Amino acid sequence: MKAKKVGHEAHMQKADNLGILDGVNRPLKVVFLGAGSGFFKGLFTDVINIPGADKGEMALVDIDEERLSLAKKLGDKIVKLSGKKGWKITAVTDRRKVLEGADYIINCIEVSGTACVRFDNDIPREYGVDQCIGDTIGAGGLFKALRTVPVFLEVLKDVEKMCPDAWVLNYTNPMSIMCLAAARAGKAKVVGLCHSVQGTSHVLAKYAGIPYREMNWRCGGINHLAWFTELSHNGKDLYPILKKKIEKDPKLLAEDPVRFDVMKYFDYFVTESSGHFSEYLPYYRKRQELIDKHCGPRYLGQSSFYADEWPGWRKACDANRKKFISGELEIEIARTWEYASFIIEAMETHSPMTIYGSVPNTGLITNLPQDGVVEVACLVDKRGVTPTFFGRLPPQCAALCDANMRMFDLAADACLQRSKDLAAKALMLDPLTAAVCSLSEIKEMTERLFKAEKAFLPGYK
């Protein structure tokens, strides 16, 4: 097996001599839901970069007409720069106009935009729940799910009706709850995609001071909480080396304080950044002195980081698009290491590739809930996405995943049933919230969040 080079040296593995075709040999139809997303430019460019994918239709969908127009203009310019004149770019606000005949759907929708970020952050903070990102777990993640999942399920109903053979490549958070609800609600072919596995594998090689291609590793768990249970170089375990390094080098420890601290006590390194990871645990954010000790600026755990910065990031994204379109900024059209385009390439060319995806746990990780969603290595080829067996996680790692999955379980059902009661119970199981609040406080917090975000939560009883 050899690693495929994708601009950065990605970890994705591509097999040789397995009936591989020269390239994509038919027009593709790819529907991009949420074209206003910050993911758009990279993912769109990736698809255009697929070898042999010289013609087809990229249908852009967004309910925001202004941002949709910017995406269309940027897409047209990327296609022109690529020299692939066979691509047709369409832009609509109604997905039903373009789903018919779609081969792949890239989902990057965001329900409510920035309207709820302060509610998601500030109301829990009044109860002592301090969040850094707050979009996949905790109160912020729960209410993002309550807003987003019902819309996603309507999308999937349309997919089942209009393009039942299409694969839905989901990038929208909260990943685990989104994919779990989708699996319980219907039969659409959905895989959840993130970049934390490939990103962290490169970070670990840097920390260990070895060439990336020479590092061997194995990873499994849940999205943002997957564990590198094997990490070696030339047959030598890298974990003792990493533990010695952080003991001797405070600067290295400060680069990833929470992940290194968990590695110290739980023996293994996890996939999500220290700041976001700290929200999945009951240990680091329940008192200010712990936040001060273990967390740092920005993605290292800054309080309210996402809520404070996201509105500005969104404006900057739109401003940069205008600059790309006008020529003020140069457009980089190299392929990124995001999975979507490589999944399409592998399926279209029968060029098997291993990626990491969030999928139903059908016996894949044996000591995690079998009705949940896990993140494991998946083989992609013309048959689709086939998850691979992982086995048992180390028990201490499984316990942390399990605690989050119990929250996801009730959260997904709360979305499916439009139930305020199940939503409150889900938050009662959230590790950080439970470490800070009483049950009555969590119930009150939930009710306040429902009241504040009522306009974006229709039908909840």
Letter for the amino acid at 171? Y
Total of domains in the chain: 1
Stretches in the chain below the pLDDT threshold 50: 1-11, 13-21
Q: Can you say whether the dihedral through the CA atoms of 19, 21, 25, 30 is positive or negative?
A: positive
The CB-side HSE value for 250 (13 A sphere, CA atoms) comes to 2
Residue 304 near residue 310, CB atoms below 8 Å: no
Q: Residue 20 has what pLDDT?
A: 43
Does residue 83 lie within any of the structural domains? Answer: yes
Q: Residue 1 has what pLDDT?
A: 28
Give the span between the Cα atoms of 405 and 226, in whole angstroms.
12
Q: Residue 112 has what pLDDT?
A: 95
Cα distances (angstroms) measured from residue 349 to each of 64, 167, 383: 35, 15, 11
Q: Residue 15 has what pLDDT?
A: 40
Q: Domain residues for 58?
A: 24-115+139-195+312-352
**For residues 280, 281, 282 and 284, what is the CA-based torsion angle, rounded to 10 degrees?**
-110
Does residue 165 lie within any of the structural domains? Answer: yes
- 350 given a catalytic annotation: no
Q: Residue 7 has what pLDDT?
A: 34
Catalytic residue among 8, 195, 202, 233: 195
Give the span between the Cα atoms of 208 and 240, in whole angstroms.
10
Does residue 66 lie within any of the structural domains? Answer: yes
Q: What is the pLDDT of residues 377-393, one digit of tens each?
A: 999 999 999 999 999 99
Residue 27 near residue 103, CB atoms below 8 Å: no
Q: Residue 22 has what pLDDT?
A: 57
Does residue 80 lie within any of the structural domains? Answer: yes
CATH of the domain at 48: 3.90.1820.10
Q: What is the pTM of this model?
A: 0.94
Does residue 149 lie within any of the structural domains? Answer: yes
Letter for the amino acid at 363? G
**Could you give the angle at the alpha carbon of 39 between the alpha carbons of 372 and 190, nearest 5°?**
30
Does residue 254 lie within any of the structural domains? Answer: no
Does residue 433 lie within any of the structural domains? Answer: no
Give the span between the Cα atoms of 352 and 36, in whole angstroms.
31
Give the span between the Cα atoms of 35 and 66, in whole angstroms.
11
Task: Determine the angle formed by the axes of helices 117-126 and 305-326, rounding to 10 degrees.
Answer: 160
